[in-house]
Structure 1
Amino acid sequence: MPSVSTNVFVRRSPAEVFDFLADARNLALWSSGVASVDPAQVCPGHGAVYRYRFPGRRRPHLLVCAEYDPARRIAFRGRRMWSPLGTQVPLYSFDLLPHADGTLVRLSVTSTLTAALLLLAPLVAMAWRRDLPADSLKLRELLGDPVAPPTAATAPAAPTAPAPAGEPEPPVPSATAMRTAPAPHGFDYAH
């Protein structure tokens, strides 16, 4: 039963991070272990069931919320997936710890394997050790890890010269507001 974990710091409150993770539809935005999730609205909570596609699979499988402790822990267990070599049951779990000015998120993936797939356990673990750290960085980016504001010790930026006459001003990047929906704490990024 290979199990892999990693940690990532997100500059959001545990409630905001939990609300994002509690909606399994968001997993497809950042997790390499979830190819897609049916967009149908599902009320988050223990026992909530989502239809999802595991990478490399054609037909959808079920993903069930196995643990639901608001602002602390959430876990999703995939239903058993059959292959000629045996079965696999993935468990995606997230532990949230308030930390300084944000949340420390521990991401864990555990795969329960049977039959000949047990022989492939080292390869499954190796793949998760490769993918989970990259997934955690995608999660942090999606949640908008803000850049630290300049401190007093930082020198002020030099003023920029105006554009020469006749040349257009360079475009100013626009900020995009985070989408919110009626989630328990007002944070629903993808929907």
Structure 2
Amino acid sequence: MPEISVDVHIGRSVTEVYDFLSDARNLELWFSGVDTVAESAEPAGPGVVHVYRFPGRHRDQLLQCVAYVPGEHLVFRGDRMWNPLGAQTPLYSFTLSPRRRGTLLRLTVQCRLAGALTLLAPVVAMAWRRDLPRDARRLGERLGAPHCHVIATPRRIRLPGPSFIPAADPAAAAPALTAPAPPRPQGRPEPRPQVRPEPHPEQHPEPRPASVPAAKERATRPAA
């Protein structure tokens, strides 16, 4: 989703700038994201829907006010627009803050892209980077501001990266490659100790010791 912002100082009060921005009919006078806005008797406020046309399209779309904080914040959201490559949903945000000699206004444009249009996100961002400073200067001219200048050129761009494609199954991801273990040195195998089987008592009977009296008798017999 490309997101572009630009800051501009307008030499008018916050009330004057906000009243002009909150009337959606004034968008076609200075904003390149709106071609025409139909007349509406509804007052400005949250939830108010206007009929407008996006530049380059011939069908009417709806433009709804989705955020409304008097003197501070204002957001308009357009309908989702379809084409053979996918869809896009524009979002226009205006944030105001008082300054000593006027108003600091931040213009922000977001485009939610779907389908193959996501591949054209850099082109969409480049177009808004070119148009937003022009729109800010045109707004100052419409308000008759004697001092209107762009403080910061488009300073924030968010584009979808490779991480916006969700993985089908994170557990099934390929494991990281590891270095193979070094081969063990091959040498002569060590001889196994030979264990002799113990003789079975029945096969090799131990000699029976002589009786104690017989041994005494042989010990006391005098020599010849």
- Structure 1: 4+ residue segments shifted above 6 A: none
Counterpart in 1 of 2:102?
Answer: 102
Aligned counterparts, 1:89-168, within 5 A: 89-146=89-146
Partner letter of residue 8 of structure 1?
V
Distance of 1:12 and 1:73 partners within structure 2: 16
Distance of 2:53 and 2:85 partners within structure 1: 19
Gaps of 5+ in 2: 148-224
Structure 1 position 122, deviation (Å): 0.4
Distance of 1:13 and 1:33 partners within structure 2: 24
Distance of 2:16 and 2:8 partners within structure 1: 15
Provide Cα deviations, 1:111-160, integer angstroms capped at 9, x if missing partner: 0000000001000000000000000000011111126xxxxxxxxxxxxx
Structure 1 position 32, deviation (Å): 0.8
Distance of 2:42 and 2:35 partners within structure 1: 18
Partner letter of residue 78 of structure 1?
G
Provide Cα deviations, 1:81-123, integer angstroms capped at 9, x if missing partner: 1111111100000000101121000001000000000001000
Structure 1 position 15, deviation (Å): 1.1
Distance of 1:41 and 1:129 partners within structure 2: 34
Provide Cα deviations, 1:2-38, integer angstroms capped at 9, x if missing partner: 0111111111111111110001110000011111000
Distance of 1:146 and 1:131 partners within structure 2: 21
Counterpart in 2 of 1:42?
Answer: 42
Aligned length: 147
Aligned counterparts, 1:1-40, within 5 A: 1-40=1-40
**Bigger radius of gyration among the two:** 2
CA RMSD of aligned residues (A): 0.9
Counterpart in 2 of 1:82?
Answer: 82
